[in-house]
Amino acid sequence: MDYSYESEQTKFMREFLEKNPNIQEKRMAARSIWWDKDLNKEDQKRFKESTVPHKPYAYFGAQSDD
């Protein structure tokens, strides 16, 4: 099997990152804004305690009067 195929998107990204090495630092900084958060135990506890139980979907939880 030939594994040498590289999509145009992958090739573009590889070449772009080779030409602009500073972009990787910006990518990691942008990622940390949304994804790489420190976990706060107190906030997690409050979040878990404040959740409201979901009601079942109307068609699956309803009783029919037939």
Write the pLDDT tens digit of every residue in 6-48: 999 999 999 999 999 999 999 888 888 887 777 789 988 988 8
Arithmetic mean of pLDDT, 45-54: 84
Contact between 24 and 17 under an 8 Å Cβ cutoff? The reply is yes
Query: Greater confidence, 59 or 16?
Result: 16
Note the pLDDT of residue 17. 93
Region of residue 56 (phi > 0: left; psi between -120 and 50: alpha; otherwise: beta): beta
